[in-house]
Chains A and B, each alone.
Chain A
Amino acid sequence: MKLLKPSWVNHNGKPIFSVDIHPDGTKFATGGQGEDSGKVVIWNMAPVLREEDEKNENIPKLLCQMDNHLACVNCVRWSNNGLYLASGGDDKLVMVWKRAAFIGPSTVFGSSSKLANVEQWRCVMILRSHTGDVMDVAWSPHDVWLASCSVDNTIVIWNARKFPEIVMTLKGHTGLVKGLTWDPVGKYIASQADDHSLKVWRTMDWQLETNITKPFSECGGTTHVLRLSWSPDGQYLVSAHAMNNSGPTAQIIERDGWKTNMDFVGHRKAVTVVKFNPKIFKKKQKNGSTPKPSCPYCCCAVGSKDRSLSVWLTSLKRPLVVIHDLFDKSIMDITWTLNGLGLLVCSMDGTVAFLDFSQDELGDPLNEEEKNAIHQNIYGKSLAITMESQLASTIIENPEMLKYQQERQRNPNPNGAQGSGHENQTPKLTNVLNGESLEDIRKNLLKKQVETRTADGRRRITPLCIAQLDTGDFSPALFNSVPILPGSSASTQLTPQISSDSSTANSLGLRPSHDPTTTSPNKTAEENKDSGPAPVNSIAMKSNLLLTSASKMEPMKALDSRFTERSKATPGVTSVPITIGITPLDRVKDNSSAKELKVKDETSSDSEDKNMVKSLSLVKRKVEMEGGEVVEKRKKGRPRKDAKMMMPISQPIPQTPVSVEKEPSRLVTPVVALKLPTPSIRKSFSTQVGTDSITYLEVENDVSVVSGARLSQLKWSREGREWDTLLPSRIIIATGSSDVVAVACEDRTLSVFTACGRRLIPSIMLPAPMSALHCSGHFVMALTASATLSVWDVQKQTALVKNESLNPILSGTDATVSQSLLTQQGVAVVALSNGKTYCFNTSLETWNLIADKQDSLVQCADFRNCLSSQDALGSMGPLALTQGRNLSAGRLASRLSSTPHNLQQGITLAFLENQLSSALILLSASEYRHWLLIYARFLVNEGYEQRLRELCQDLLGPVHKSSSSSWEPTVLGLRKRDLLTEVLPVIGQNLRFQRLFTEYQDQLELLRIK
């Protein structure tokens, strides 16, 4: 045994009341008296363990000190998972600390010590309930509860998963409660108080299990603390100060019948603290004493007011070692290292001592199997799986496992947001400071700060916020900001979330009536009033936007009446819906320059305007057929009530009628159920291809007139390279991917070119005008105005989806298509205005719901703990695209909701499984992987062993090839076994699953060798 008193661990001579080693063994906390407050200090363990680290000035000794407690700190305890530190003090408070990621080192202002805090531990929760000094705190196995006891004679059980919720206040002690310990099996909690009693409470109903008084009847209330301890096998509870024949002892209480037949004797004054070693040992005795050689034993350290420390093995009748005069004052607390070989003791005299044992002295720690056997024997079940408190004593059997454990320890924050080292934590304040350095800000702070006068004339300064408090939570902003892939597959103006279009469209009906072309503004205004929603949205209005009078009305009615009227008035005119030109000026030019009637021309002449104004009185929509030429059909019951709704322009889309200009393509006018909006025809427009923002498609309609026919030009350019081609009809939509370019023309043809401009297939004749067109890879997706969907693979020249109707998803709802997109894998996704998003599954030929804003699972699922920082990046893809907004909302909701944990667990599980299957159906490999890892992490965190096993089994597949196996080795092009390789480290982070980990690790290894 080696003994060390690290003098640098001190509270400037003030008493140290508590010490606790972090579960990862890299640091320890002390609590006690500060200058004029309570003090909690977190110290680096390395300089205690190694002399060279102690001498190395680059290795910090003090990591963080917190003087937030207003009075002496009596107890500090790390949570079993190491994420939190709980402290309780004379200020009646329990504080829960968490390491903050984003704020750099700082000092305690005004303290004489100029040492900066290397780590930032921030009080994330203050638990107020006690009305007297808090003497001891203890985390339950699993960190489900935190217990605190106080001189107010009570014990408070806090819900550690929902601070500051109080599960129960245990009342019954009639004196100051000075010590707490949880049963490692999780069935009991024991408390010792000055009222000469030790009480054991059941965690099942929080009622008293037993009240032990006899050994304590002679005790006086002379000790500051009574820290009792439960043995790691759960069999023994050892009390602090007890008396036996007028001598101070530590009473051993057997779990079986709460018998009090044995005690640790020898200390000359009251025992203040007992602490069991987290490990169970076994050893063949060499000292000649004769317990059964195989009998495992526990190790226990006892500290006393007599300033001495004794270490006992339950197999020995005498203490293993007794150290006298280690301190000048009473021992206050003891803590063991994870491996069971190190021991830190603190004293009222303000010093700590470190004891380093060898295995020869203590024995060989039991490995997991032996320990399981013991538990199996005693409790009929293996604690290793269920009890996290046992993890501290779990032996890591597998070197791989050790690696992952170490990685986890290096990065205890699941968000991974903090740097790994102590030294290089730079404050990340730039977000708040807009990139200005703090120095710059400070220079001008006085001038810049906002100072006002209150009503009573006092100065009031608005402080400059230089950093937001970081609670380590995953920021939902990353999800919020998922863009709608501008310029990629969803690049045309039909992507409603690129909102200028839709909002402009909506503002159509809301135009103020100062338009010079308006002939009867009053009427318009009236109409406006009649027709529903108040005009609100006119953000995108442009003053030069020359629109018809119809545009001043509520869109639908106005347009309806207008079209009917118009078809009467100018039967030959093709009326294509009003849409907002992105380039309105062009249109105006168009209108004025071309005397011939234009297909799109809805605005040109005054007489027409008048007609339309007349038609305004026709409030009800009429369906009229004029000479069978113009057919207008419009699905009713989908009024766009909300001008702000993110919906595409959904005006009726009249069919191209016979035109007076004898354009051959317009001769046939089939009757089509019109459901989807189509974009307007613009004189020219350009669109970006792909996400790289260097490839552009430019369209110029009616560039030249060749022998009476107007030609339209399509120009493709990419970093100077370009090609162009001419089309005989005006182009409505042009879009492209890295492989192909597709354009839809007014004459309902669809042309597809390679990225080099070569025509791939002769024009495809569409059954209805194009509503939306997307390209992705070599896939082309067409959504027609008659609400049918087609997807082609133009490389293989096959149809993946053939004229599939959107009826199944549209019927029975008031919804319209608000967005559509095509994934890289050729999966068509259609989002509806009712918040639901579907994709078409080509193998099942079904529409599958992949996102729903109203989905309560989304609202309540809480998997933030399972996210790592990389996850945010990995989630880009079609699924995130369609769900992004909802997900963040869900996470926020989960923070607010008060769903019981088990319910939330179930919700989250269901949600994650939905996500997985959605990613699968979207063929989105990266998202599948992303959600798989989150899913796995969730299963690991929440202990769903069955599902975890099933998941691993599916990923691993059969180890031996057999013909009957239907196992697919890949999923979405990802090799399942590679996925398993990724999942295993996740599993490896939880020692509870080390069996599972080892099992699959070994099999994977085996397969790899094969």
Chain B
Amino acid sequence: MAKVQVLNVAVLDNPSPFGNPFQFEITFECMEDLPEDLEWKIIYVGSAESEEYDQTLDSVLVGPVPAGRHMFVFQAEAPNPALIPESDAVGVTVALITCTYRGQEFIRIGYYVNNEYTDAELRENPPNKPNYGQLQRNILASNPRVTRFHINWEGCAEKMEDSENVDPAPNAMLPPSCTPGKAPPLGLVPDNSMDCL
């Protein structure tokens, strides 16, 4: 069983201009003292078409982690627009937070991200070349998709033989089909509803 349980992820500074750093306040609980650090990553899916556009925005080590409930804020720079296909700049995509222990990913938290122009004019007539300065990033914080993986917490990266049993459904995190620039407002609410502390 997982020694680390993610209790909550609060999306900070949301919505925000496209160039702002991502900020996730992560609360997790650990059953026993972890001898090694956790590694957290934020991955920005540049294009639903291909993984090749995935950008790892940042990765941090978190530790030491004694038994108990902990929190930290994971801040990572905004994605590099140059690496995003122009056609995918506006619209819905996905940001992933993953956590690995001893090189094994045990949780993957996905958020739908909607990038749109705040300016009505731009929204109506999006420029061919995306104007990142005018884009607003809106993370659908209220609806995270959490996938947990069975890993071997004791040893190093020795694969658990049955981890495929619990692999996420393929394409589970692919964004819904959505015409760029035509995405309706997602009606986001601040993600405090789950925070019961």
Contact = CB atoms under 8 A, between A and B. Distances in A.
A461 B72 contact: yes
Interface in A465-499: 465-469
Chain B contact residues: helix, strand, loop or mixed: strand
A466 B168 CA distance: 31
B148 A464 contact: no
A106 B166 contact: no
A1010 to B, nearest CB: 57
B109 A458 contact: no
A110 B196 contact: no
Contacts of B8: 106-107, 109
Contacts of B159: none
A110 B72 contact: no
A458 B59 CA distance: 8
A109 B2 contact: no
A104 B1 contact: no
Contacts of B165: 71
B168 A36 contact: yes
Given A107-B194, A109-B6, A110-B109, A460 B61 contact: yes
Nearest to B73: A446
B69 A126 contact: no
A70 B148 contact: yes
A104 B196 contact: yes
B61 A36 contact: no
A466 B27 contact: yes
Interface in B142-197: 144-148, 150, 162, 165-166, 168, 193-194, 196-197
Nearest to B58: A459
Interface string B57-72: 0111111111111111
Given A114-B193, A126-B1, A467 B63 contact: no
Question: B5, B8, B59, B193: which has the most chain A beta carbons within 10 Å?
Answer: B5
A460 B60 contact: yes
Contacts of B144: 109-110
A465 B166 CA distance: 30
Interface string A447-469: 00101001000111111111111
A103 B9 CA distance: 18
Nearest to A69: B1
Interface in A57-83: 67-71
Nearest to B109: A110
A107 B196 contact: yes
Interface string A89-125: 0010101000000011111011100101000000100
A277 to B, nearest CB: 34
A432 B27 CA distance: 15
Interface residues of A, number: 44
Chain A contact residues: helix, strand, loop or mixed: loop
B69 A467 contact: yes
Contact of B7 (A68, A106, A454, A460): A106
Interface in B93-114: 109
A104 B27 CA distance: 14
Nearest to B32: A469
B61 A463 contact: no
Contacts of A95: 1
Nearest to A93: B1
B196 A466 contact: no
A463 B65 CA distance: 7
A446 B7 CA distance: 18
B37 interface: yes
B166 A70 contact: yes
A427 interface: yes
A803 interface: no
Nearest to A117: B196
Given A37-B166, A123-B1, A466-B27, A454 B67 contact: no
B119 interface: no
Contacts of B55: none
B148 to A, nearest CB: 6
Contact of A438 (B147, B166, B197): B197
A445 B69 contact: no
Contacts of B109: 110
B74 interface: yes
A442 interface: yes
Contacts of A463: 28, 62-63, 65, 70-72
B146 A104 contact: no
A123 B25 CA distance: 25
Contacts of B6: 109-110
Nearest to A442: B25
A105 B37 CA distance: 27
B61 A466 contact: no
Contacts of A103: 69
A116 to B, nearest CB: 5
A454 B62 CA distance: 11
Contacts of B61: 454, 458-461
B196 A106 contact: yes
B171 to A, nearest CB: 15
B36 to A, nearest CB: 12
B31 interface: yes
Nearest to B23: A446
B28 to A, nearest CB: 8
B75 interface: yes
A464 B70 contact: yes
B194 A114 contact: yes
Contacts of A427: 197
Contacts of B25: 442, 445
B192 to A, nearest CB: 10
B43 to A, nearest CB: 16
B71 A70 contact: no
A205 to B, nearest CB: 33
A71 B10 CA distance: 27
Interface in B14-29: 23, 25, 27-29
Interface string A432-446: 100000100010011
B68 A468 contact: yes
B162 to A, nearest CB: 8
Nearest to A446: B73
Given A68-B2, A446-B23, A458 B69 contact: no
A106 to B, nearest CB: 5
Contact of B1 (A70, A109, A446): A70
A463 to B, nearest CB: 4
A223 B5 CA distance: 34
B13 to A, nearest CB: 10
Interface in A398-456: 427, 429, 432, 438, 442, 445-446, 449, 451, 454
Nearest to B147: A36
Given A37-B148, A71-B166, A109-B9, A91 B72 contact: no
Given A458-B61, A461-B72, A36 B166 contact: yes
A91 B1 contact: yes
A68 B1 contact: yes
Contacts of A467: 68-69
A114 B192 CA distance: 11
A268 B178 CA distance: 53
A461 B74 contact: yes
A110 B74 contact: no
9 contacts: A70-B166, A71-B162, A91-B1, A105-B196, A109-B9, A111-B146, A429-B197, A454-B61, A462-B62
Given A110-B109, A466-B71, A469-B30, 13 more contacts: A68-B1, A70-B166, A71-B162, A93-B1, A104-B197, A107-B8, A116-B196, A460-B61, A460-B62, A465-B66, A466-B68, A466-B69, A467-B68
Interface of B: 1-2, 5-10, 12, 23, 25, 27-31, 37, 58-75, 109, 144-148, 150, 162, 165-166, 168, 193-194, 196-197
Interface of A: 36-37, 67-71, 91, 93, 95, 103-107, 109-111, 114, 116, 123, 126, 427, 429, 432, 438, 442, 445-446, 449, 451, 454, 458-469
Instruction: State the 5 A-B residue pairs at the shortest beta-carbon distance, nearest first.
Output: A110-B146, A463-B70, A467-B69, A446-B73, A460-B61
